[in-house]
């Protein structure tokens, strides 16, 4: 039998050649692996930073939308996005119980967005944030390495704006990028401290990454004060414009009356339900019977009073999870009595709506109080020293935490 002999060109690798090849590949792997690892870490870091920024963006939108609820619930160490309290961020902080940080400092302990590999434990507040950000809650709750982020929520802090108290929360998101599972912000000496100084009216929170903070190279912070202060600014500016319009209305009514009398209140017409306690018992005789703006007395024109936190623009009362709500005497929502106030001042309902989405109040009744509890000057007043001119009224609105904003209007003759 003839046997075919393999040609020399068809022979395989020798053992020596295989060993040399393995050595070369090992050297290449040794060179390339750190580069690959570094590239993978960089990609995860970029992804993490993008997610943290998206978290802040979503939190900003959600906070703006629910600012009245968030800063009126009294849930310190928590940010509550809805009335029912089913969407909560930072649910286990609570550094001050039910108190408010108005002076001093307090450390904040973070919570992890969820237990690793247990999506069912995800903090419910991420639902509100993700909805605002247009993303899924789980994708925002994890960093680029798939590890849940850490969340710091301040207690309710009392700051100040234009002489008014401002209640707000600060939030920080932190990622332990590429760190082992047993590495936590606490084990690395990371601290988040919130403080307030009543004397200097300064407040806020600061994040210190500690001596080993290199494991936490991705951080994003959020300030609730910036949002609330902006709402104060826009609301107060609009209230002042309405007060100017109301003062002009008063002056126009006075000048248009041929029997103009400095003893008559031209802010409103008579109180059909009550004659008041005016001079000589004839209080209504000192009201402008030609005015198309009604009196805001509680008994007048079916007014409901102006309960905290107010009413929505469609006049449906909105109940919030707040106890001990304040009711102002002789103050009505700007649209009461068939939009008489807004119509006759030539302003829209939206212009008479606060930045928190609630109607402003009109206070021209005999017992209408301002922010300091002082009553307006009105010929129907039951306080004898408030029955004489110059007559006054108030434009009022509620801010979070039952803070009453008030702009006075003084009648000019």
pLDDT tens digit sequence for 378-401: 988 888 889 999 999 999 998 998
* 320: pLDDT strictly greater than 80: no
Mean pLDDT, the chain, integer: 84
**Per-residue pLDDT tens digits for 187-240:** 888 999 999 998 998 999 999 987 665 667 788 999 999 999 999 999 999 999
pLDDT, residue 38, reads 59
Q: Nearest 10 degrees: CA dihedral of 229, 234, 240, 244?
A: 170
pLDDT at 112 over 50: yes
pLDDT of residue 117: 87
Name the residue ranges covered by the structural domains of the chain.
32-216, 231-410
Backbone phi and psi for residue 398, each to the nearest 5 degrees, phi listed first: -100, 135
Higher pLDDT, 373 or 95: 373
Mean pLDDT value across residues 159-183 = 88
Give me the count of residues in the chain. 413
Q: Which two tokens stand for residue 81?
A: 């996005």
Residue 318, pLDDT score? 46
Task: Name the pLDDT band for 330 (thresholds 50, 70, 90).
Answer: confident
Angle (CA) 295 300 306, round 5°:
80
Q: 184 CB contacts (<8 Å, ≥6 apart)?
A: 150, 176
Per-residue pLDDT at 277 exceeds 60:
yes
pLDDT at site 324: 46
Average pLDDT over residues 276-301: 80
Q: What's the rounded mean pLDDT across residues 335-339?
A: 88
CA-to-CA distance for 163 and 407, rounded, in angstroms? 13
| Least confident residue range of 78-87, 279-288, 289-298 | 279-288
What confidence score (pLDDT) does residue 392 get?
95
Provide the token pair at 192. Answer: 């988040």
Backbone phi, psi, residue 68, to 5°: -65, -40
Higher pLDDT, 96 or 85: 85
Model confidence at 243, pLDDT cuts 50, 70, 90, reads very high
Lowest mean pLDDT among 7-11, 69-73, 180-184: 7-11
Conformational region of residue 371, where left means phi above 0, alpha means psi within -120 to 50, and beta covers everything else? alpha
**Is the pLDDT score of 249 beyond 90?**
yes
Cis status of the peptide bond prior to 390, with omega within 30 of 0: yes
> Which residues share a beta bridge with 200?
none
**Contact partners, residue 10, CB within 8 Å, separation at least 6:** none
Residue-wise pLDDT for 3-49, tens only, equals 555 555 556 668 776 777 676 777 765 665 565 455 555 677 788 88
pLDDT at residue number 124: 94
pTM: 0.85
Burial of 17 (0-12, 13-18, 19+ CB in 10 A): exposed
End-to-end CA distance of the chain: 134
* SS3 state at 225: helix
């Amino acid at each position: 039998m003839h046997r075919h002999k393999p040609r020399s060109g068809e022979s395989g690798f020798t053992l020596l050649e295989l060993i040399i090849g393995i050595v070369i590949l090992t050297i290449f792997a040794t060179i390339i692996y750190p580069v690959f690892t570094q590239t993978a870490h960089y990609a995860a870091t970029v992804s993490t930073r993008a997610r943290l920024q998206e978290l802040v963006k979503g939190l900003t939108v959600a906070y703006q939308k629910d600012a009245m609820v968030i800063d009126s619930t009294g849930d310190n160490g928590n940010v509550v996005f809805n009335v029912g309290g089913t969407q909560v961020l930072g649910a286990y902080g609570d550094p001050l119980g039910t108190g408010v940080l108005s002076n001093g400092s307090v450390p904040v302990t973070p919570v992890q967005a969820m237990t690793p590999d247990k999506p069912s434990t995800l903090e419910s507040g991420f639902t509100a944030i993700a909805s605002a950000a247009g993303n899924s809650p789980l994708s925002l709750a994890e960093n680029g390495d798939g590890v849940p982020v850490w969340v710091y929520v301040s207690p309710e802090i009392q700051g100040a704006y234009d002489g008014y108290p401002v209640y707000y929360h600060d939030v920080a998101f932190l990622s332990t990028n590429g760190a082992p599972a047993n590495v936590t912000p606490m084990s690395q000496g990371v601290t988040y401290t919130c403080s307030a100084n009543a004397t200097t009216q300064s407040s806020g929170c600061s994040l210190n990454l500690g001596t080993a903070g290199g494991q936490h190279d991705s951080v994003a912070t959020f300030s609730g004060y910036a949002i609330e202060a902006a709402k104060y600014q826009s609301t107060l500016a609009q209230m002042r414009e309405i007060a100017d319009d109301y003062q002009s209305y008063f002056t126009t009514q006075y000048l248009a009356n041929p029997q103009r009398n400095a003893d008559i209140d031209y802010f409103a017409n008579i109180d059909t339900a009550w004659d008041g306690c005016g001079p000589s018992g004839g209080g209504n005789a000192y009201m402008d019977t030609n005015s198309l703006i009604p009196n805001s007395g509680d008994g007048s024109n079916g007014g409901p009073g102006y309960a905290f936190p107010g009413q929505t623009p469609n006049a449906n009362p909105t109940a919030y999870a707040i106890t001990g709500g304040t009711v102002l005497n002789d103050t009505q929502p700007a649209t009461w009595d068939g939009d008489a106030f807004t119509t006759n001042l030539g302003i829209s309902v939206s212009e008479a709506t606060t930045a928190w989405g609630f109607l402003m109040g009109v206070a021209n009744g005999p017992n209408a109080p301002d922010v300091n509890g002082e009553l307006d000057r009105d010929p129907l007043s039951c306080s004898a020293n408030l029955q004489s001119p110059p007559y006054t009224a108030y434009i009022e609105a509620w801010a979070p935490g039952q803070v009453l904003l008030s702009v006075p209007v003084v009648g000019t003759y």
